[in-house]
Amino acid sequence: MSESLRHRLRALPDFPDHLPFFDLTRTPADPVALFLQWFEHALAAGVPQPHAFSLATATVHGVISSRMLILKDIQAAPGPAAASSGSAPSAATEADALPPQPAAWHFASMCTSRKGEELNGNPRAAMNFYWPQVGRQVRLVGAVTTLDAAASALAWAERPGADGHENPQWQLYALHPTEIEFWQASADRHHIRHRYEL
């Protein structure tokens, strides 16, 4: 059984014959911009549910679990605060000196679920989008925060088939990536990776 399965698995195709070209010299500075480019390409290529991703979480003891979820939104990072009217026009504010913050990637779940309990005890996670029709993956790692009750209630109300009933246990989360890696398969097996460290 094992030998037969091994040969069957090896005989399966990995990726389609024609893969998109990934030009590393033309990648945008903002990883969200590149993600949206790839997302639109995945849609055009007929990838089913390109907004689906694997979410990996872990307990405080490092026991890992993963499951598939749907991306709810990407919230742009806030810009630096404007200088107060009393400050000199040429003086940099403290906010200007801070490094830019990454965008927040939203997903939702029951806070009483396994992933909800794991995020409560260990608020870090990894996302992975996989689009086999174009041989692409996008991986994100970062801290996770909870959004407020109003945002969570809106996310519940906007679900397909929502019946108007409230669900206070439905929680909207935001992953704040410290690393985003874009992976492009290549026919010559020299797969291409482009990583943003945030």
Query: Domain count of the chain?
Result: 1
* 139-168 residues labelled b (16+ CB within 10 A) or e (exposed): bbbbebebbeeebbeebbeeeeeeeeeeee
Three-state secondary structure of 102-166 = CCEEEEEEECCCHHHHHHHHCCEEEEEEEEHHHCEEEEEEEEEEECCHHHHHHHHHCCCCCCCCC
Kindly give, in sequence order, each residue whose CB lies less than 8 Å from that of residue 89, ignoring residues fewer than 6 positions away. 83
| Structure-block tokens of residue 121 | 């005890």
The CATH code of the domain that includes 194 is 2.30.110.10
pLDDT at 8: 93
Residue 69 bridge partners (DSSP):
53
Report helix, strand or coil for 52.
strand
pLDDT at 100: 55
Q: In this structure, is residue 99 part of a structural domain?
A: yes
pLDDT at 14: 87
Q: Tell me, what DSSP letter sits at residue 184?
A: E
Q: In this structure, is residue 55 part of a structural domain?
A: yes
Do 114 and 123 contact (CB within 8 A), yes or no? Answer: no
Q: For residue 99, give its domain range.
A: 47-77+94-198
Q: In this structure, is residue 51 part of a structural domain?
A: yes
pLDDT at 85: 37
- What is the DSSP pairing of strand 170-184 with strand 192-197? antiparallel
Q: In this structure, is residue 61 part of a structural domain?
A: yes
pLDDT at 99: 52
pTM check: above 0.75: yes
Q: In this structure, is residue 26 part of a structural domain?
A: no
Q: In this structure, is residue 111 part of a structural domain?
A: yes
Q: In this structure, is residue 18 part of a structural domain?
A: no
Which amino acid is it at 90? S
Per-10-residue mean pLDDT of the chain, 198 residues long, equals 88 90 96 98 97 98 98 84 38 46 93 98 98 97 98 96 94 98 93 97
Q: In this structure, is residue 27 part of a structural domain?
A: no
